[in-house]
Amino acid sequence: MKIITKFALFAIFSAICIAQVAFPTTTLTGALTAKGSGPVSVASTANIHSYWMGTTILVVDGEAICPTLVIPVAGYVFASRGCQGTATQNHSIGATVYTGPPSYFYFLPPSGAVVGGSCTASQFPVMPYIVLNAGGGATKWNCTGGIWSVS
């Protein structure tokens, strides 16, 4: 009985430790042009930290944006656009902004992943699995119902 109890506690603790978290997101409150400069306006700066600390990358429509200064009260993020090898792009008001540490973003697709193939979402810290493509754009791999899809 003691062994079964210890195993059950271990299984519960393990599940908690590897649980997948929701990908932090916000939205743009101002449009961005590919050649624009100035701050990036977002609805929330709650999960955004200055990149000089290497803590946050923003991804909007496939463009990586690396914050250099965050002004939470105003919702402004001063940043280096088109970082991580991506190209600057135009972005509309309301566009989804994925925010997270560099470890949430990848440069290669999930190992062995094929569209329509099987997957286990809990193997990854967050979904979608965002691949930053050199030269611009990003590919979002989603594992829904145990099946890979790409958007």
In this prediction, residues 44-54 reach a mean pLDDT of 79
- The CA angle 149-110-145, to the nearest 5 degrees, is 40
Give per-residue pLDDT as tens, 131-151. Answer: 998 667 788 999 999 999 998
Task: pLDDT band for 8, please (50, 70, 90 cuts).
Answer: very low
Would you list the domain boundaries of the chain? 25-150
Give the start-end residues of each E strand in 1-151.
25-27, 40-41, 57-60, 63-71, 76-81, 96-100, 105-106, 129-132, 138-144, 147-150
Amino acid at position 15, single letter: A
Task: pLDDT band for 24, please (50, 70, 90 cuts).
Answer: very high
Residue 7 has pLDDT above 50, yes or no: no
Give per-residue pLDDT as tens, 100-127. Answer: 999 999 999 998 899 999 999 999 999 9
The pLDDT of residue 15 is: 40
Question: Is the pTM higher than 0.85?
Answer: no
